[in-house]
């Protein structure tokens, strides 16, 4: 191979590629950033979801214990009745029925614990995020070694 061909090759490559590759790269626009922010947002979402689920579990456990039933309609009605009763029983000049409702829930809970036991509801967020961005089609497909020749 001669030096002249090498120079010609280098000139041609430079002419073609340099205008393209001389443009500055901006990390903020790069595809890998999606993976990064997806992981962060999954982390935050998981925390928020877990907190909400824990609160919901706690509330549902109280209500379920208070009503003696895991059926939301049943314990909902029972709790409503308890609230109304507490309002009726509230003495003039006093405010707040929280203590009354809590006492009701405790009483029911103690009764139900002996019958139902603790629930093992899974309160964790049920999402299954891998944090992976979808692969392009040319990576998803596995090339078959047997390629039929063109007609």
- Could you tell me how many residues make up the chain? 151
Count of Cβ atoms closer than 10 Å to residue 82 Cβ? 21
> Does 36 sit near another protein (CB under 8 A)?
yes
Q: How far is CA 111 from CA 34, 68, 103, 136, in A?
A: 52, 8, 13, 58
Residue 100 and residue 106: Cα distance in Å, rounded? 10
130 is an interface residue for another protein by CB under 8 A: no
**Placement of tokens 């041609």 in the chain:** 12
Among 87, 116, 129, 133, binds another protein (CB under 8 A): 133
CB of 126 to another protein, least distance (A): 25
Our finding on whether 41 is near another protein (CB under 8 A) is no
Contact call for residue 146 and another protein (CB under 8 A): no
Q: Of the candidates 91, 122, 130, 149, which one interacts with another protein according to CB under 8 A?
A: 149
In the complex, minimum distance from the CB of residue 5 to another protein, in angstroms, rounded to a whole number: 6
Cα–Cα distance measured from residue 31 to residue 132, given in angstroms and rounded to the nearest whole number: 12
**Interface ranges with another protein (CB under 8 A):** 1-6, 8-14, 16-18, 20-27, 30-32, 35-36, 133, 135-139, 141, 143-144, 147-151
């Amino acid at each position: 191979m001669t030096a002249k061909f090498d120079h010609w090759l280098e000139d041609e490559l430079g002419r073609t590629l340099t205008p393209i590759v001389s443009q500055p790269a901006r990390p903020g626009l790069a595809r890998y950033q999606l993976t990064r922010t997806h992981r962060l947002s999954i982390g935050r979402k998981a925390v928020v979801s877990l907190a909400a689920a824990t609160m919901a579990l706690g509330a549902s456990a109280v209500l379920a214990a208070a009503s003696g039933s895991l059926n939301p309609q049943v314990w909902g009605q029972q709790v409503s009745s308890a609230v109304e009763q507490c309002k009726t029983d509230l003495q003039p000049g006093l405010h707040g029925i929280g203590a009354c409702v809590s006492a009701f829930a405790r009483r029911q809970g103690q009764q139900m614990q002996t019958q139902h036991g603790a629930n093992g509801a899974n309160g964790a967020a049920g999402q299954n995020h891998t944090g992976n961005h979808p692969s392009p089609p040319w990576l998803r497909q596995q090339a078959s070694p047997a390629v039929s020749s063109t007609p």
